[in-house]
Amino acid sequence: MTISLYHRLKTVSRGIGVRQVRLICGLILFSYLLSHFLNHALGNVSLQALAIGVAYHLAFWQFLPVAIVFYAAALTHGGLGVWALYQRRQFSRSTLEPLQLILGLSIPALIFSHIAGVRLGHTLYGHDKLYPQVLYSYWAGPSWRVWLMSAALLTSWSHGCIGLHFWLRLKPFYQRAAPWLLACAVLIPALALLGFYRGGRDIISASATTQWRAENLSPKQTGTASEQATLETIMNGFLIGYLGLIGAVLAARGLRALHERRGGMVTLSYNNGRIIRVPKGLSVLEASHRNNVPHASTCGGRARCSTCRIRVIGDPSGLPAPSPREAFVLAQVGANDPSIRLACQLRPTDDLSFFQLFMPNLTPGEPGSQRAAIGQERYLVSLFVDMRGSTSLAEKRLPFDVVFIVNRFLGAVSQAVLSNGGQPNQFVGDGMLALFGLGVDPHVACRQAVQAAHDIAVNIAELNAVLSHDLHDPIRFGIGIHGGEVIVGEVGYRDHMVFTALGDAVNVASRLQDMTKTLGCQVIISDDVYERAGRASGLLPQQEVEIRGRAEPMRVRTAADAADLVSQSPTDEGAAA
């Protein structure tokens, strides 16, 4: 268990890159924003509700460990935003990406006066500013302050929502959840702004009494004139420094472009004959976007989907080494060949010729084309089944006879898959890939796949009995089962698009199926699927196997006869009990 946890942590840590860090920090900041917005929304109820809400909000976010994580996330996220401004040479054609960056970079400039007034004043002088003091300063002061705060609220919220959209859009539930999420994305800031307004109006009315002013606007709470002046100086200094930093980054971009132009250009040759010349330093995907060359990139260049991958023609040894994140994604899809690279990560320093391994989505305007469905990331269980000995069968029989037997075999397999809720997905010669989990949760998918493996054995045994007079040897087969996050979508070309799943889990299932030959068993199930299926009692023998393309060994369960799987069924065990 400890070793397995260690392996999992190691695998997960290899998959963490800059984007993953930015996402985690962004999620922390968005949680803060959500809590703050819900607090503002309480202004629609009463000033007392606002005060109670802020007490809970502060108790959580100012709890020391939480505060440390929060400030670290804010600094890291902000730093990575500035780095992205320097590093991104080209944005995908979506306008959301540059918009997200501009909104993100505007946030520090918009909120620093608020931070200086509330947090810095507290840290330096012990000011005690809560809603009454803050709302009074906005609504009794010059109107630009209200507009500035409203802009800060909307900018941060929009930036966060775009980030969440980029993160979630590949998730299977997203399409169903999108209308609800959109409703929340509109309602929450609307209620927060309304609460900010209502709270402000209530404070202005309350401030008409001298008693309220004496209780809420004392120098201890809001600071003396000289303290305010010092805070303003700090705020101005920060603004100048921040704008200077952005200016310096833009200047650095210009210098880099100049340097790259002087440093030379590289020629990129695509498999369709297209040749482009771009400055060194661009990624292949950025070069494609800059030159309007269609290039598949389901995750938008975030090193998550692998659909941008290319096969380099010629010697790949001169290419820049893959980053840990690129190496991780390539290993996940079983791409061990050094000539296969992610176009969104590879920045060629020399001329390059390559094949795009996936066709980009075709636009509806293209003659004879159909828009390919965008891929979705989801957990699926892949079951590979392959008939054994079909080559020798073909040698001994007439071709029609072989086709008849293979079809009976595939029919028996498909029937078992379908009756257990799976989908026969690809037929390759005498083998088949079946997918489970397109409409059910992972645990059900795992149970269905294991039960289907059992039913395949039963169906083939019946088929062997029916064909016994006709076959010298009974039909034999091997099954490999593994589950994991894969990309599902349509691949192919024009009228030849097919729905399928791509990803490491599919490749591993295929390799497990192959391995049944060397291990002399009929079924190999990854331990993960076996456990999720509710068969963690250890009734099937367990062992570790090396999988080509994976750094770590994998724990699997093997069964000499797939029909034995039935005795492991929890239903049966339950019935027996």
Q: How far is the CB of 528 from ligand FES (least distance, A)?
A: 24
Contacts with ligand FES by CB under 6 A lie at: 297-299, 301-308, 329, 342, 344
DSSP 349: S
Report in angstroms how near the CB of residue 298 gets to ligand FES at its nearest.
Answer: 6
Residue 309 Cβ vs ligand FES, minimum distance, rounded to whole Å:
7
Separation CA 491–CA 333 (nearest Å): 16
Least distance in angstroms from the C-beta of 27 to ligand FES:
20
DSSP-based helix, strand, coil % in the chain, nearest 5: 60, 15, 25
* Strands of 366-444, DSSP E: 376-388, 423-428, 431-436
Taking the least distance from each CB to ligand FES, the nearer of 23 and 152 is 23
Picking from 130, 111, 75, the residue whose alpha carbon sits closest to that of residue 238 is 111
- Gap between the Cα atoms of 409 and 391, Å rounded: 14
Shorter beta-carbon distance to ligand FES: residue 98 or 247? 98
Neighbours of 445 (CB within 10 A): 25
**Which of 268, 412 has the CB closer to ligand FES?**
268
Q: What are phi and psi of 265, to 5 degrees?
A: -115, 160
22 or 304: whose CB is closer to ligand FES?
304
Q: How far is the CB of 264 from ligand FES (least distance, A)?
A: 25
Nearer to ligand FES, 82 or 335 (CB): 335
> In DSSP terms, which residues pair with 545 in a beta bridge?
554
Whose Cβ is closer to ligand FES: residue 191's or residue 293's? 293
322 Ramachandran zone, left/alpha/beta (phi>0; psi -120 to 50): beta
* C-beta of 50 vs 340, nearer to ligand FES: 340
The answer to whether 481 and 506 are in contact (CB under 8 A) is no
Shortest distance (Å) from residue 304 CB to ligand FES: 5
**What minimum distance in Å lies between the beta carbon of 365 and ligand FES?**
23
Taking the least distance from each CB to ligand FES, the nearer of 332 and 451 is 332
CB of 283 to ligand FES, least distance (A): 9
* β-bridge pairing 498-502 and 352-356: unpaired
Write the Ramachandran bin of 492: left for phi over 0, alpha for psi from -120 to 50, otherwise beta.
left
Contact between 351 and 266 under an 8 Å Cβ cutoff? The reply is: yes
Quote the CA–CA distance of 167 and 169 in Å, as a whole number: 6
Rounded to a whole number of angstroms, the minimum distance from the CB of residue 305 to ligand FES is 4
Please say which residue, 117 or 322, places its beta carbon nearer to ligand FES.
322
Sign of the alpha-carbon dihedral angle for 291, 294, 295, 296: positive
Distances (CA, A) of 435 to 408, 485, 505, 547, 563: 20, 12, 11, 21, 20
